[in-house]
Chains A and B, each alone.
Chain A
Amino acid sequence: MFDFPQGFYSDVRIERIYRSLVRIEMGKLEEVKEKSDSGAFIRLYDGKRWYYASTTDTASINQELAQLARLADKPDEQAISRLTSRMEKNLGDFCRFADQSVAKTGLKDKISLLESYAGLVQNDQEITHWSASYSDSHISKDFYSSLTKADTGLKFDTQTAGLRLGVRFGSGANVFSETWCKAETGFDQLKQLHAEAKKYIEQARDYFHRAESIEGGVYTVVLSSLAAGIFAHESFGHKSEADFMIGDTAMLKEWQLGKKVGSEQLSIIDDGNLAGSGFTPFDDEGTGAKRTALIEKGILSGRLHSSITAADLGEAVTGNARSIGFEFEPIVRMTATFIEPGELSKDELFAGVSRGIFIDSVKHGSGMSTFTLAPSMAYLIEDGRITRPVRFSVITGNVMQTLDHIDAVSDKLEILSFVGGGCGKMEQFPLPVSFGGPYVRVRQINVQ
């Protein structure tokens, strides 16, 4: 048991991390590695400031706690109580991946799996460069706090295993690069995805051969689940993170709950319960995952919190205090963020477009007041049908106007998980997240 300093709030998060990586490039096995590490992040709050320490020496945690207490001011009981009154006191063992941990699968099996996917592109004369990688992680966390003082603490784990297959067609000025990426929560689930990967590579090949530039202008745009998810995450999700609102009256007024911010078709959810790379059964303050509606039928209805932002804004914790690892403090982050499906079938949704653009895959997206999405594979829609691949730089628009221009969403939700990247915020990158949605139709989008 830890010696939590008297009067303060303090907690200890111990992480045990297993990771492995296999990388093949142009037929050569370039890298194979696996490692198991552990470390601890220790926090203490005096009512005014947080004091943090990160260490790989888990035997020194009590010394670190004492050291942090010496750095702190005299505890402010009221302020500490404002924080702790909102914190959950979860205890117990919620680990679910121990039996099928990716650490139990040998590296030779991982190499074989990756080689089977590399075989899909090897010796392809049109692919001028390719790389394939397998990566996984199984992270177990133990959380103890001065609130519970229980020896057992809270134990939980997360696991991701995934593949990336990056290909480049062509050379010189006539090139096209695309990446197929898939992540699951276990090794075995990756064994049967060859047909999906092959189909994606063939789609990219077709795009490389046939895509033509299209005139810029204002179009109706249909976003795929991936594009809709990136839009929800980049353009809206970050603005729902409550740490951006602390002490900021203009932001609080603008983001007042109950305000209409989008069309009635639009609901955006963040939910750490969903399996995949955003799965966060408990956050790094021990709060259980929640389903948080950020927008419900166009109305601003929630935001994402850590305990300190919840205390500051007088709201409830949401399970979104996350860090990228034991070297960092938890800050407000998304988990699995998605646009909720509606009632139209995909065909019905497309049928409503006489001439528009379908964005299937995306290179990158960003969003402040204006958002941009740079498509990778995009297609022209004519009379409700996808007719041909087209090239352009970006779609762009004002975030709030665009939320209002969403006029239809399809009926099937797809949540996408990833390896080899993640979300970045301030110094913390990459954090595993997932995102997705149904097909989303948006009017009056500027295509450049």
Chain B
Amino acid sequence: MREKIVQQVKQTSLSIVQNSISAIRRKNIQKTGCRVIKNNKIGVAGGLGKVKDEELFARAENALEYGVEYPVEISSNRQLQDRLNELSLDDSQICAAVEHVLDELKRRHPDFAVSNKVNYSNASLRLTNDAGLSLSHSDSYISWSFALKSSSSTGIMDTFFGIVDRKLEPEKVIEATSAIINAYNNKIELPAGELPVIIHQSALTRLFQRDLNGKIVGNKASLLQQKFGQKVFADNFSVEIANDPVETFSPRFDSEGAICEDSLRWLIKDGVILRPYTDKRTALRYGFDHTACGEGGYDSVPSLAGCNMEIQHSGKTLPDLLPEGHGILIAIASGGDFTPDGKFATPVQVSYLTDGVKLLGRLPELTIKGSLFDFFGRDFIGVSSDKLYLSGNERMLVTRLAAQKL
């Protein structure tokens, strides 16, 4: 059995220093990976640019001698083409749009500098094999990544705006960045009483990346080991494998050419822990459901590392999820971690008070802390159905964590 993966990235990247484009980088790189699977073993090989398939397959076949076991059922007889590559820009359009954004931000905020990167990418991935598998994914998007710094500040960066978008919307970028700078400049005190915390869900679901990993669970090393099949979290708390390419900017299929079945996509449903996430080898080895979470580079043996997961949204907008009318939006929180028993704490360098629509002001540096079993349990409020453009155009997690001024 032979499988081939072709990954192509065309990209124009603009470097920004102090509101000016300092460099323009263009690249067009093709990467090809070949796998040979025989007698329950796998060999891999890969190359860049123009490579001869037969040479790569020959190398992959030679690599079978190392004896890497791969006793799984190979994906077959499936055709899929996901095309999300409608954004088509030439270099002059991108430069003009970025220059417009930078100039306008400089005009509105002469005391704030914008630096870092804007990338326009066309990415594609194709996975085929001898068994009738032909999957492809192509996407084009622009990613804006602004490090924002006050002219009086002596730090490397004060705050940040970042977004990945399939539309070129410079005016929205200007308005969002401007709103962040305005809020940053408006220092306010932490209001008395408890306010919900609004945070990117990946900051708090990362413990699941480790403790719902099929290998960790299979080896009985998970924090959640004794809790499968039990209601551990809030009734309205469910976590699913996310594989919609529109949302994830990633292929619908995994590195083994598999797509998670609808019936298996829930890792946690209505507070009950159902299953770990797995690739084919892990599912087979430990007798778990196969959730199609194989990862790996174009030239790697597919393996299990992490997975795209998301908390089911509540159907309510962000303002509806703020019972007190306000919440603390976490913008930069660096240096925190989970303890092995699920307690989480992090310093928060930048956060804003928000009503769910607007940023009302910058809060002092904080620490936030809580336990996994509380912030996804009794303290869990929900995930917004709407996306907050100001915060990376993501659906935001709202929960209660102890927030204290540093």
Contact = CB atoms under 8 A, between A and B. Distances in A.
Contact of B219 (A128, A244, A329): A128
A396 B29 CA distance: 42
Given A33-B45, A55-B27, A129-B216, A49 B66 contact: no
B225 A172 contact: yes
B192 interface: no
Interface residues of A, number: 68
Interface stretch (A245-253, A263-271, A381-389): A245-253
B139 interface: no
Interface in B333-386: 334-337, 339-342, 345, 347, 349, 365, 367
A393 B301 CA distance: 36
A28 B367 CA distance: 42
- Residue in B13, B50, B66 whose Cβ sees the most chain A Cβ within 10 Å: B66
Nearest to A25: B215
Contact of A374 (B145, B337, B367): B337
A172 B47 CA distance: 42
Contacts of B222: 171-172
A369 B219 contact: no
Interface string B280-316: 0000000000000000000111010000000000000
Nearest to A71: B24
A53 B21 contact: no
Interface in B1-53: 13, 15, 17-18, 21-30, 44-50
Contacts of A99: none
A427 interface: yes
Q: How large is the interface on B (under 10, 10 to 19, 20 to 34, 35 or more residues)?
A: 35 or more
B30 A56 contact: yes
Interface stretch (A1-9, A184-192, A360-368): A360-368
B149 interface: yes
B300 A33 contact: yes
A165 to B, nearest CB: 16
- Residue in A35, A174, A177, A251 whose Cβ sees the most chain B Cβ within 10 Å: A35
B69 to A, nearest CB: 6
Interface string B134-158: 0000000000010001111111110
B403 interface: no
B221 A171 contact: yes
B223 interface: yes
Contacts of A168: 216, 221
A33 B33 CA distance: 11
Nearest to B152: A250
A374 B347 CA distance: 12
A365 B67 CA distance: 39
A89 interface: no
A122 to B, nearest CB: 13
A396 B335 contact: yes
B349 A33 contact: no
A201 to B, nearest CB: 16
Interface of A: 25-26, 28-33, 35, 37-39, 49-57, 71, 107-108, 111, 128-129, 168, 170-177, 238-239, 243-244, 246-251, 253-255, 327-329, 363-366, 368-372, 374, 393-394, 396, 426-427, 448
17 contacts: A26-B219, A32-B63, A33-B46, A52-B24, A52-B26, A54-B25, A54-B27, A54-B29, A56-B48, A108-B66, A172-B226, A173-B340, A247-B17, A247-B113, A370-B347, A426-B116, A427-B13
When A and B form their complex, which 4 residue pairs have the shortest distance between CB atoms, in order from nearest?
A56-B49, A372-B335, A173-B341, A128-B221
Given A31-B44, A31-B301, 19 more contacts: A33-B44, A35-B46, A39-B48, A52-B26, A53-B25, A54-B26, A54-B29, A56-B29, A57-B50, A171-B221, A172-B223, A174-B340, A239-B156, A250-B154, A328-B25, A364-B337, A394-B345, A426-B117, A426-B145
